[in-house]
Homo-oligomer: A and B are copies of this chain.
């Protein structure tokens, strides 16, 4: 993607990471040449580094010789940000059991929401989010609720950027969005209707930790059921309170890695 290829001064580390993060876009596997292209590296350099990354389990080669991420990397990744995920999971499960709707938990990462966990059964609705996936904050209920309760400077910084618009219903007018956030803060929850994807609606409440939002807890429903979505509000609030209680003993720095607004 980025063109800046082999200008000298590029560190080995940056090259090795470029090879790994080349899979961020979601491609399952790539041929060596494709990977070299994606990482912006010469083929022979790619070849040498990939060999070592494979040897150490960060990458793997499938039977056809194509390169993919190593399962050991997934394993390692499970150790990042575990505290919130592991603690919240059973409560998220309860939320799903109680409502029967797709339930998810998200945090803010930079100017986007990052989906930490998601529970749904086979009677699933079209997938809007994906565990480990990101979406714009202005288009999702979890995103809006987090933004609404964030500190002022975060919100201010957010409005200086261009707002994305996945569907025609997504609010991208800063003034109106700001107004909506005030209302969300007053009522204590956020909703969306077809703002990420046509056909689905969502509702979300904040999860606090010592007065600060640390996450958004939400449900996704079919647009046709959007009307009755509010009846899940007490359940959402109850589960959120339980998560808050369960995470109360965890040191804040363990809960929210870095504090930066941008990554």
Binding site for B on A (CB under 8 A): 11-14, 16-17, 20-21, 23-24, 26, 28-29, 49, 52-53, 56-58, 60-64, 66, 68-83, 86, 89-91, 93-94, 96-97, 109, 114, 119-122, 124, 130-134, 242, 252-254, 257-259, 263
User: Can you report 30 residue pairs joining A to B where beta carbons are below 8 Å apart?
Assistant: A11-B12, A12-B12, A12-B13, A13-B13, A13-B16, A13-B56, A14-B56, A16-B17, A17-B53, A17-B56, A17-B58, A20-B76, A28-B83, A28-B254, A60-B258, A61-B258, A63-B253, A64-B253, A69-B77, A71-B81, A71-B109, A72-B263, A74-B77, A74-B132, A75-B77, A78-B132, A90-B124, A93-B119, A93-B120, A97-B121
**Contact residue among B26, B66, B79, B252 (Cβ-Cβ distance under 8 Å from A23):** B79
> What B residues does A79 contact at CB under 8 A?
23-24, 26, 28, 69, 132
The SS class assigned to the A binding surface is mixed
Q: Is the CB of A257 within 8 A of B62?
A: yes
**Contact residue among B57, B66, B83, B94 (Cβ-Cβ distance under 8 Å from A263):** B57
The copy count of this chain in the complex is 2
Report, nearest first, the 4 A-B pairs whose CB atoms are least far apart. Answer: A77-B77, A78-B132, A69-B80, A62-B253
**Contact residue among B62, B76, B82 (Cβ-Cβ distance under 8 Å from A24):** B76
Q: Is the CB of B80 within 8 A of A73?
A: yes
Q: A13-B12, A52-B11, A52-B13 are in contact. Are A70 and B257 (CB under 8 A)?
A: yes
Q: Is the CB of B68 within 8 A of A77?
A: no
Cα-based distance from A115 to B188 in the complex (angstroms): 37
Q: Which has the most chain B C-beta neighbours within 10 Å: A26, A82, A252, A259?
A: A82
Q: A13-B52, A28-B83, A58-B17 are in contact. Are A132 and B93 (CB under 8 A)?
A: no
Q: Which has the most chain B C-beta neighbours within 10 Å: A13, A26, A252?
A: A13
Q: Is the CB of B122 within 8 A of A91?
A: yes
Query: From residue A118, how far is it (CB to closest CB) to chain B in Å?
Result: 9
CB-nearest residue of chain B to A132: B78
Cα-based distance from A81 to B12 in the complex (angstroms): 26
Query: From residue A235, how far is it (CB to closest CB) to chain B in Å?
Result: 14
> What B residues does A56 contact at CB under 8 A?
13-14, 17, 21
Q: Is the CB of A77 within 8 A of B83?
A: no
Cα-based distance from A76 to B109 in the complex (angstroms): 14
